[in-house]
Structure 1
Amino acid sequence: MNVLKRDMQLLKNSNDVVLARQKVRQWATELKFSLVDQTKLVTAASELARNALDHGKGGEMTMELLVNGSKSGLRLIFEDQGPGIADIQQALKDGFTTGNGMGLGLGGSKRLVNEFSIESEVGKGTKITVIRWK
Structure 2
Amino acid sequence: MDSSVKIISEWDIVTARQLGRNMAKALGFGTVDQARITTAISELARNIYLYAGEGDVRIEKTEAVGKVGLVIISNDQGPGITDIRKVMEDGFSTSGGLGAGLPGVKRLMDEFLIESNPGEGTLIKAIKWLR
* Alignment match, 2:115: 119
Structure-1 separation of matches of 2:59 and 2:40: 13
- Aligned pair 1:19/2:12, yes or no? no
Q: CA deviation at 1:71?
A: 1.1
Partner residue of 1:7 out of 3, 10, 16: 3
- Equivalent position amino acid for 1:102 in 2: L
**Pairing of 1:34-73 with structure 2 (within 5 A):** 34-73=30-69
| Cα deviation code 1:17-49 (max 9, x no counterpart) | 000000000000001101111111110110011
| Cα deviation code 1:95-123 (max 9, x no counterpart) | 11111211110101100000000000001
Question: Please, what TM-score do these two structures have when normalized by structure 1?
Answer: 0.94
- Equivalent position amino acid for 1:85 in 2: I
Structure-2 separation of matches of 1:98 and 1:104: 11
**Displaced runs of 4+ in structure 1, greater than 4 A?**
none
| Cα deviation code 1:56-82 (max 9, x no counterpart) | 111001111112232110011000111
- Aligned pair 1:109/2:105, yes or no? yes
Question: Please, what TM-score do these two structures have when normalized by structure 2?
Answer: 0.96
| Structure 2 unpaired stretches of 5+ | none
Partner secondary structure for residue 55 of structure 1: helix
Structure-2 separation of matches of 1:17 and 1:129: 17
Report the identity percentage: 44
Partner secondary structure for residue 7 of structure 1: strand
Q: CA deviation at 1:6?
A: 2.0
Q: CA deviation at 1:124?
A: 0.8
Q: CA deviation at 1:89?
A: 0.6
Aligned length: 130
| Structure 1 unpaired stretches of 5+ | none
